[in-house]
Structure 1
């Protein structure tokens, strides 16, 4: 491999690394799935973490403010270029009752972010357009502190895999349903325990290796 390959991981609190056992606490860098990914890929890869608790795909949050991933997306992409690969894992916060959107809406919104990658990089002076990997988040559980906020979200979250599969023919992005690899915590129903971060980081590393093979 020639040079360093840069991978941008764009997500919400599960990319930020929220500890489900301790509200407001962030897992250490080497525990977060992005840190595991960095270790698994080894030398020659630079991992950029862009995780924001509360971030949605495209929806403006009337309570928490500037949480729309779409609003920040072009700026984020251009500030970190050149990029070889973009990993998007969003949709969990879209399940909040306040947004009243379907699983299909969430899948379409995520694919719209993937489509913006090519649009954003289609400008003079930019020669590298990154590949896109979408991670479909695992189902949530309506339990604990977040149960009321995510009322009705558990059932919709179980439909996400099917919704993304239905739309996969209409995108150039690779799609990986991580519900086959990890589960959400029983503690708060939303975030990932440390062991799940380890599993996710390892699985994503294998997927990325298959995407960024030498030509």
Structure 2
């Protein structure tokens, strides 16, 4: 049984687009993590959800409870679910919130590097003898929306995220082995309802992308 940890934000948690305030959540079978479990061989893969609304790469909020900084509890989460055969990290969109002073793709890449170093410093991989392999996912680009919550909160986010895939790809190339990269942007369109969240179609498309990527990582036939 191979264990895959999915470490992300509201798009891993399953936030329904536009449901600010009430925070509706797609059911397990709709969320990409649940669909990925169905697509992979359930007898040989265990997909673990670790999505948190508002999670950043390495930033603390001034007005929210602790725990949303991606680097904060990552070591403990890795230990909790160990041994792990793969850690998927998809974070960065929340770094673009206006309150974080115009963070750019370069800042997100640095935050991602900090998380990579945390994972690589552990021995929570297969057989608890080394660190687990890592898959870095570059987030889809925000889309135009009329949602007032997003327009104010994520002002200028689309432009500041444009170079993220290139920057993350370069980052991943700096490591010698057991770290992989995929750009979700060409495959997924975020919901026009709020411009930043997966709708049902996007969850399905992303699950299919992850399924293909994981099978390539483990050299499995489709």
Secondary structure of 2:112's counterpart equals: helix
Q: Quick one: distance in 2 between partners of 1:21 and 1:94?
A: 19
TM superposition score normalised by structure 1? 0.92
Secondary structure of 1:208's counterpart equals: helix
RMSD (Å) for aligned C-alpha atoms = 1.8
Question: How many aligned residue pairs are there?
Answer: 210
Q: How far 1:65 sits from its partner (Å)?
A: 2.9
Equivalent residue for 1:76?
77
Q: Quick one: distance in 2 between partners of 1:133 and 1:27?
A: 24
Moved over 6 A (4+): none
Give unpaired runs (5+ residues) of structure 2: none
Equivalent residue for 1:38?
37
1:197 to 1:178, Cα distance in 2 relative to 1, 3 A: same
Q: Quick one: distance in 2 between partners of 1:181 and 1:86?
A: 21
Determine if the alignment matches structure 1 residue 206 to structure 2 residue 212: yes
Judge conservation of contact 2:144–2:192 (CA < 8 Å) in 1.
Answer: no
Q: Quick one: distance in 1 between partners of 2:123 and 2:110?
A: 21
Equivalent residue for 1:18?
15
Judge conservation of contact 2:122–2:130 (CA < 8 Å) in 1.
Answer: no
1:80 to 1:94, Cα distance in 2 relative to 1, 3 A: same
Secondary structure of 2:154's counterpart equals: coil
Judge conservation of contact 2:104–2:161 (CA < 8 Å) in 1.
Answer: no
Equivalent residue for 1:154?
158
Give unpaired runs (5+ residues) of structure 1: none
Q: Quick one: distance in 2 between partners of 1:45 and 1:169?
A: 27
Q: How far 1:126 sits from its partner (Å)?
A: 3.0
Q: How far 1:138 sits from its partner (Å)?
A: 0.7
